[in-house]
Amino acid sequence: MAEEVDAILKMKNPAEKFAALRASAQPQAQFLWAIFRDIFHYAAVQLENVADNARDLDLAMRWGFGWSQGPFETWQAAGWSDIAQAIAADIAAGKAMSATPLPAWVLDSGRTGVHTGQGSYSASKNAYVARSALPVYQRQLFPERVLGESAVTPEKSGETLYENEGVRLWRLPAVDRKIGIISVKSKMHTIGNEVLDGVIAAVRQAETTLDGVVIWHEAPFAVGANLAQVTEAIVAGQFDLLEQTVEKFQRASQTLKYAQVPTVAAVQGMALGGGCEFVMHAGKRVMALESYVGLVEAGVGLIPAGGGCKEFAVRAAEWAAQSATPGEVFNFLQPAFMTIAMAKVAASAVEAVDFGFAKPSDTILFNANELLFVAIREARAMADAGYAPPPMPRAIPVAGKNGIATFEMMLVNMKEGGMISAHDYKVARSAAIALCGGEVETGSLVDEEWLITVERRLFVELLKDPMTQARIKHMLDTGKPLRN
């Protein structure tokens, strides 16, 4: 890309960006302007034929092509009148793809766009059309909005019941005043100390004043632990502090699982690492179909230690208990081991069920805009049904030494075949030990506290390894995993 064009595209102000593209003689700039000009032109001419209003067209283009803004939004942001005059001039000069003139409404005196607080312009009706008030749309508590449309954001909605730096507990009295909503406030909803403290405090408050809680905020659900905080502690050599933080993470997960009120995770977008562990520990999950869930800690040289390994060990014991060989859990651990060791991410909510991150009884929604509404209703239904937390298992059979040895054979073959590195082997072996309940006799009966202690110890040991530290640094610097 030409340096001149690269500089233009980095401009923050859309009006200045489009003006610079039009004014530039650089062929690449002219090419980009021509693409946008012809899209705007075509959308304006065809609006009355293809959509009831400009909002519907913009949203269709967003959803169909993954755009962050529709064509009319982009045009409006860049300065409606200036762009309209420029398109008209190019049509007159024969530069546009079509000689069809712009519709008269586009050039109306004083027009600043097609989206306003009162509604979006309809070419067929020559009027601004508000959103539909049909009951089905009332399920969208915070519908996707277009540029220029008045909207109340979740952050400024409802009644705040508790708040710290990382979390806000609030409610929507008009929907259900006894169901709380826990929203994470950090960037990309990473989970740091302030989030852990907030989640624990919010759930404890909900147990005394509410009937249930929903964990919800706009996507992504959570991209995992706050690696910047982890790196700061590593550089300072504060491994005791890191172990305390991991223990707090485990306590937060257990708090979600054993809360005295129903906890519902409303999931959309990425739920990775610690975010996935929160999802797994919630009392129920309501998931948008387009949810991407996974325990990806291996990518930074670690294992799940927010209760993820423990939870799979517990579930393996539960699945084995329903089989013909109740004490033999290894076969049920193998898929979980491969999922963790290979840092697999479910590509949909349906696949998240297949991977064991969610349960067949969980709710999957096609329309993500209904997520919060349905999650609140699910929490209400659980509360009204007399919800009680699951009993804490006290005698969990584990695969122990024999299970670890079997996983080691698999890993040795992969290492000798050049499929994994020596550090991959170490990380995967740590995951195997955590899933198998530690180096104890096969069939030993343990409790959840034992399992989370094993995974926490292994996690901290890996944090002390320079190879893991290099992976964490590389992820922070580049956003990509390092294979070392």
To the question of pTM greater than 0.85 for the whole model, the response is yes
Q: Which of 187, 188, 294, 234 is nearest to 471 (CA)?
A: 234
**Which pLDDT score is estimated for 218?**
95
H or E segment to which residue 421 belongs: none
Q: Compute the average pLDDT of residues 281-285.
A: 98
- What span, in angstroms and rounded, lies between the C-alpha atoms of 424 and 6? 39
Q: Output the DSSP codes for 206-258.
A: HHHH-SEEEE--SSPSB--B-HHHHHHHHHTT-HHHHHHHHHHHHHHHHHHHS
Residue 22 clears pLDDT 90, i.e. is over it: yes
Bridge-based pairing state of the strands 119-122 and 115-116:
antiparallel
Q: For position 445, what pLDDT does the model report?
A: 96
Per-residue pLDDT of 219-261, as tens digits, reads: 999 999 999 999 999 999 999 999 999 999 999 999 999 999 9
State the Cα torsion 359-364-369-370 to the nearest 10°. Answer: -90
What would the pLDDT profile of 368-426 be if each residue is shown by its tens digit? 999 999 999 999 999 999 999 999 999 999 999 999 999 999 999 999 999 999 999 99
Average of per-residue pLDDT across 46-54? 97
Question: Per-residue pLDDT for 326 more than 90?
Answer: no
Bridge-partner residues for 116, per DSSP? Answer: 119
Statement: residue 1 has pLDDT above 90: no
Q: How confident is the model at residue 297 (pLDDT cuts 50, 70, 90)?
A: very high
3-state SS track over 91-113:
HHCCCCCCCCCCCHHHHCCCCCC
Distance, CA of 88 to CA of 194 (rounded, Å): 54
Q: What is the pLDDT of residue 278?
A: 98
* Residue 375, pLDDT score: 98
pLDDT for res 135: 93
Cβ neighbours, 10 Å, residue 12: 6
Residue whose C-alpha is closest to residue 368's, from 176, 143, 167: 143
Q: What is the pLDDT of residue 262?
A: 98
Q: Which class would CATH give 154-478?
A: alpha beta
Contacts of 24 (CB under 8 A, 6+ apart): 4, 5, 8, 30
Rounded percentage of the chain residues whose pLDDT exceeds 90: 96
Domain regions of the chain by residue span: 3-139, 154-478
> Tens digit of pLDDT for each residue in 62-107?
999 999 999 999 999 999 999 999 999 999 999 999 999 999 999 9
Amino acid 327 reads G
For residue 411, the model assigns a pLDDT of 96
**Closest listed residue to residue 265, CA positions, set 346, 382, 375, 387:** 375
What's the pLDDT at 180?
98
